[in-house]
């Protein structure tokens, strides 16, 4: 007996019923290396630059979860409508409710600039690039809804290539009272000093500060800082050196050992 074929409307109805029944949606992330090679690396980097620009524009309030939503939406847009250039905007509104739109807009802007210099990739290739970025988000995020582990990682990683987006203030002529640095900012400063100078003093202070933050339940902040440092210097030796902080921090968040798709972190957390 021939299998009955469902119409498009019936397939869509079936998908909606699955979502309502609480069945988890299949991840769109692509964990292969097809889109990390020379042919696609510039488009991949420019897309992540757009994400980082949004992070800076939001005064670093953008979260990994919002990036996931934006990438998933953009993938759907590309599959439905094909690639559309970024619209011209005289005024950019930066509010929490606009973050997802801003991620997509900034990726489009960066791709528009790139494709003025080289042929544009096909829609399927652009979808593959976004799915590859989704896999990075899954790799570097923590389970927290406020996770910024991926965003911290790419900020460090892109800095290796000299990419340092800056927040442009619109409050011209207004002086703001300097704010005291947060624990995370102090930890990052110590970590960067340690890596730049190979100072034992900075290393010891980094781990002492990290342990105090761990005792205070700041696991997410510790992971964000460590992943910023890993992004800046992607070396297995550094990941191993950070294990005394990273491993208990992940444990504090209840992440099962070996759950990360990233091979180095997977080996780290599985020890």
Q: What gap in Å lies between CA 104 and CA 184, rounded to an integer?
A: 28
- Please answer whether residues 163 and 49 qualify as being in contact, where contact means their C-beta atoms are separated by less than 8 angstroms: yes
- Please answer whether residues 166 and 239 qualify as being in contact, where contact means their C-beta atoms are separated by less than 8 angstroms: no
Name the residue range of residue 232's domain. 183-269
First to last CA, the chain: 53
Q: Indicate whether 190 and 265 sit together in one domain.
A: yes
Residue tagged 């949004």 (tokens): 54
Token output for 41: 């690396």
Count up the domains in the chain and report the number: 2
Per-position pLDDT tens, the chain of length 271? 455 566 655 555 555 454 444 444 567 888 889 999 999 999 999 999 999 999 999 999 999 999 999 999 999 999 999 999 999 988 888 999 999 999 999 999 999 999 999 999 999 999 999 999 999 999 888 888 888 989 999 988 888 777 766 544 333 334 444 467 889 989 999 998 998 888 899 999 999 999 999 999 999 999 989 988 988 887 788 888 999 998 899 888 887 544 554 544 555 555 4
Q: Indicate whether 136 and 191 sit together in one domain.
A: no
Is residue 1 in a domain?
no
Is residue 219 in a domain?
yes
Residue where one domain finishes, among candidates 142, 162, 195: 142
Is residue 241 in a domain?
yes
Residue tagged 């699955």 (tokens): 18
Task: Evaluate if pTM is beyond 0.75.
Answer: no
The pLDDT assigned to 177 comes to: 45
CA nearest 74: which of 42, 114, 110, 37? 110
Residue where one domain finishes, among candidates 82, 113, 142: 142
The pLDDT assigned to 179 comes to: 61
Is residue 262 in a domain?
yes
Is residue 168 in a domain?
no
Is residue 156 in a domain?
no
The pLDDT assigned to 237 comes to: 87
For 205, other C-beta atoms within 10 Å of its C-beta total 18
The pLDDT assigned to 160 comes to: 75
CA nearest 114: which of 185, 175, 182, 41? 41
Residue where one domain finishes, among candidates 92, 119, 142: 142
The pLDDT assigned to 23 comes to: 43
Is residue 167 in a domain?
no
């Amino acid at each position: 007996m021939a299998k009955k074929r469902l119409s498009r409307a019936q397939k869509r109805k079936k998908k909606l019923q699955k979502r309502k029944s609480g069945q988890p949606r299949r991840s769109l992330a692509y964990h292969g290396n097809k889109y990390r090679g020379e042919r696609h690396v510039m488009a991949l980097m420019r897309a992540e630059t757009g994400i980082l620009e949004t992070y800076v524009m939001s005064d670093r309030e953008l979260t990994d979860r919002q990036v996931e939503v934006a990438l998933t939406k953009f993938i759907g847009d590309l599959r439905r409508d094909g690639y559309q250039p970024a619209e011209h905007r005289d005024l950019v509104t930066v509010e929490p409710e606009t973050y997802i739109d801003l991620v997509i807009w900034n990726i489009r802007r960066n791709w528009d600039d790139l494709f003025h210099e080289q042929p544009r990739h096909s829609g399927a290739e652009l979808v593959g690039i976004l799915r590859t970025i989704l896999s990075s988000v899954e790799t570097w995020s923590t389970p927290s809804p406020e996770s910024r582990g991926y965003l911290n990682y790419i900020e460090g990683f892109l800095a290796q290539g000299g990419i340092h987006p800056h927040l442009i203030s619109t409050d011209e002529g207004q002086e703001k009272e300097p704010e005291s640095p947060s624990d995370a900012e102090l930890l990052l400063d110590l970590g960067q000093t340690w890596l730049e100078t190979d100072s034992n003093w900075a290393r010891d202070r980094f781990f002492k500060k990290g342990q105090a933050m761990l005792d205070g339940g700041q696991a997410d902040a510790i992971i964000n800082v460590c992943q910023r440092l890993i992004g800046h210097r992607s070396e297995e030796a550094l990941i191993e050196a950070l294990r005394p902080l990273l491993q208990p921090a992940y444990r504090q968040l209840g992440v099962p050992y070996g759950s990360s798709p990233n091979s180095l972190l997977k080996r780290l957390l599985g020890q």
